[in-house]
A = this chain, B = another copy of it.
Amino acid sequence: MRPVDPAVRQARAWLSRAVEPGSVSMWRFVEHSGPVAAMAALRTGVAPREVQALVGERAGEDLSADDLRRAERCGARLVVPEDDEWPAVALHCLTLRAVAGDGPTERTQALVPPLALWVRGDRPLADLVDRSVALVGSRASTAYGEHVAAEFGHGLGERGWTTLSGGAFGIDAAAHRGALAAGAPTVAVLACGVDRAYPSAHSALFARVLDDGLLVSEWPPGCAPLKHRFLVRNRLIAALTRGTVVVEAAARSGALATGNRARELGRQVMAVPGPVTSAMSVGCHELLRERDHERAAVLVTTAAEVVQAVGRLGDDLAAPAERPTTPQDSLSDVARRVLDACPVRSGVPPERLAAVAGCAVVDVLRVLPALELHELVEWTGTGWRLAPAPRPGR
């Protein structure tokens, strides 16, 4: 454990309140100057104009000590890039894009690492997100979508994977609950302070998440869940996980945005199909219909398939969908035709079977023993007929 200079942590706390996250210029400025010098420049108004403008009127405030105290009171801490538990591996994809500067420039779309993360809960952040999958989807979800989200969260938990989501109503909540039901840790990445229960109906859910999981946010304690913050937050959900599953999404929705962020970051994007009659599956089907195969989402129907899609090769293979087999499967073409030629009631001689089946009598005599062995036909004393056992459909 490297000790982190308290001045660094305080500077990053100040930056996390003064700067709305998502700005590549600001991230580069902080990387280049170091957090302490960056804060000093911004507070005295001598930073380059472009980054100074991003702070605006907030330059005059300093609530960093309050924020750190307030975090401590609710069991939270500020995790900074200088900490061991900083999820550097996961966030590397954002660092690369911010350095290259080739991503979208609009702040809510930008691919840029956070300056710091407020984390509430006991587990080290990097450990918990190492094997994690994002389950995202609409707040206005259907019972179907919630069922699938809960099943996936549960199945991921059973397989040792962390479910990460946004703590919102609908799909997010069902995903967290599914993971909790499996006794597995789950992480909620919020668009407000980690001391706030938003939505307030989720205060009990968040308390359960904290038993073994984490609440994470880029915004200091007390910050409100403003609309644009959800969009900025989505890149973190995509980056912190190995892949993002869109469980239900309308044609235009935040969940789709998270899926797009994941794709831009080279993460596995997955989508759950649903009824084509459901507006809440339209977004998922759009992701799956993408013509460019490199950009199309992977269709997933079970947690095992999710793990297969994000897991290391050969590590986590999903079993193929169950295919029942019947004795008929192993029959030759002639045997199948003879079987179909057998009447249900009165037995008929092999010559008649040959005429109906369209083959030679010798062929009929050759296949009858196998059919009898499989209890598919029986000898009545005067001829052959179908055995009475029930047979599945065509």
Contact = CB atoms under 8 A, between A and B. Distances in A.
Interface string A256-278: 00000000000000001111110
Contacts of A144: 275, 277
A140 to B, nearest CB: 7
A351 interface: yes
Interface stretch (A176-184, A208-216, A358-366): A358-366
Interface residues on A, range: 35 or more
Interface string A1-33: 000000000000000001110000000000000
A73 interface: no
A41 interface: no
A252 B394 contact: no
Copies in the complex: 2
A321 to B, nearest CB: 4
A387 to B, nearest CB: 15
A329 to B, nearest CB: 9
B333 A394 contact: no
Nearest to A296: B293
A336 B19 CA distance: 15
Interface in A94-130: 106-108
A148 B355 contact: no
Interface in A275-306: 275-277, 281-283, 285-286, 288-289, 293, 298-299, 301-302, 305
Interface in A310-360: 320-324, 333, 336-337, 339-341, 351, 354-355, 357-360
A228 B274 CA distance: 33
Interface stretch (A53-61, A75-83, A367-375): A53-61
A53 B277 contact: no
A299 B321 contact: no
Nearest to A272: B276
A352 to B, nearest CB: 9
B56 A358 contact: yes
A90 interface: no
A57 B394 contact: no
A394 B358 contact: no
Contact of A228 (B18, B286, B340): B340
B323 A301 contact: no
A169 to B, nearest CB: 10
14 contacts: A20-B337, A20-B358, A53-B359, A56-B354, A56-B357, A56-B358, A58-B358, A108-B333, A139-B393, A228-B333, A229-B340, A273-B299, A283-B321, A286-B320
Interface of A: 18-20, 53-58, 61, 106-108, 139-140, 144, 147-148, 226-231, 251-252, 254, 272-277, 281-283, 285-286, 288-289, 293, 298-299, 301-302, 305, 320-324, 333, 336-337, 339-341, 351, 354-355, 357-361, 363, 393-394
The 9 closest A-B pairs by CB, nearest first: A273-B273, A276-B301, A226-B340, A56-B359, A57-B354, A56-B360, A57-B355, A107-B333, A293-B293
